[in-house]
Amino acid sequence: MRDLSRDVSFLSINTATLKTLTLRQAVETLSRHGIGAIAPWRDRLAECGVTEAARILTDRGMIVTGLCRGGMFTSGDASDDNRRAVDEAAAIGAQCLVLVVGGLAAGSRDIADARKLVRDGIAALLPHARAAGVKLAIEPLHPMYAADRACINTLAQANDLCDALGDGLGIAIDIYHTWWDPDLAAEIARAGKQTGRILAFHICDWLVPTRDLLLDRGMMGDGVIDIRRIRGWVEAAGYTGHCEVEIFSAENWWQRAPDEVMRICAERYRSCC
């Protein structure tokens, strides 16, 4: 298992953690803290345009651990937008395009049907992604988002989809969404049997109490997730990539100065992860 305590060379910051900053501001902030990897959301690219975004990232030599997000396969025809997301991921050299797959279709109570729509949607997007050289990363979301954000809620489901749909598809493991899963260790090991299936590793913490379903994620060390144990499983499964910090926190971290947030992110990454 890697020793993360010495530096921040495997730390990546998701732009959701720095909600108030433009892409350029985020990159400059990260650079001040010696952080060389980032994962932007598409709204941050849209603000400046993809070409300019690519330039901003390249100028600072940023590693792009992922682009958030494609997916939403259950809400009407998302295929054009998903192809654009693939193209944007290619343009900025993202290591993967993260898929938030979508919840129930509008007006539907049929979660099995939603899961079929997701499978079909990924299958339809994969040829374009392969041609563009962009890996698609299914992100299982916490079951509390099954209705409205993602009906893929366990690593087992994501592994099943990868087994079924083949090359070019992998998984983004976010500990916030998966820490509770009794099959987590086994399914991480299963993912590890396929080289390169684990495409991203997202970290933050689960607070007790959690005051909001969406916007109350915790900084690493402030909650109850045994981050180091899960990272151990992920690395034992062959993952050598970054730890990407993605914290949605309307009442706490989004209220603080970005430099303070980055300082604490780096500290906690080195001491708690």
Question: Taking the mean position of all CA atoms in its chain, how far away is CA 184?
Answer: 17
CB of 254 to a copy of itself, least distance (A): 19
Name the strand (E) or helix (H) holding 272: helix 258-272
CB of 217 to a copy of itself, least distance (A): 13
Contact between 271 and 242 (Cβ < 8 Å): no
CA distances 186 to 18, 227, 240, Å, are 33, 16, 19
Task: Report the C-alpha gap between 175 and 188 in whole angstroms.
Answer: 11
Site map (CB under 8 A) of a copy of itself, residues 191-220, x = contact: ---------------x-xxxx-x-------
CB of 261 to a copy of itself, least distance (A): 23
Helix, strand, coil share of the chain (percent; to 5): 45, 15, 40
CB of 116 to a copy of itself, least distance (A): 12
Q: Is 156 in the site for a copy of itself (CB under 8 A)?
A: yes
The encoded tokens of residue 176 equal: 């916030």
Contact between 17 and 245 (Cβ < 8 Å): yes
Contact between 269 and 8 (Cβ < 8 Å): yes
Pick from 115, 190, 231, 268 the residue near a copy of itself by CB under 8 A. 115
Within 224-253, the residues that bind a copy of itself by CB under 8 A are 224-226
* 159 secondary structure, DSSP code: H
> Which C-beta is closer to a copy of itself: that of 182 or that of 240?
182
Q: Is 153 in the site for a copy of itself (CB under 8 A)?
A: yes
CB of 216 to a copy of itself, least distance (A): 9
Pick from 181, 222, 244, 246 the residue near a copy of itself by CB under 8 A. 181
For binding to a copy of itself (CB under 8 A), which residues are involved? Answer: 103-104, 108-111, 115, 142-144, 146-148, 151, 153-154, 156-157, 179-182, 206, 208-211, 213, 223-226
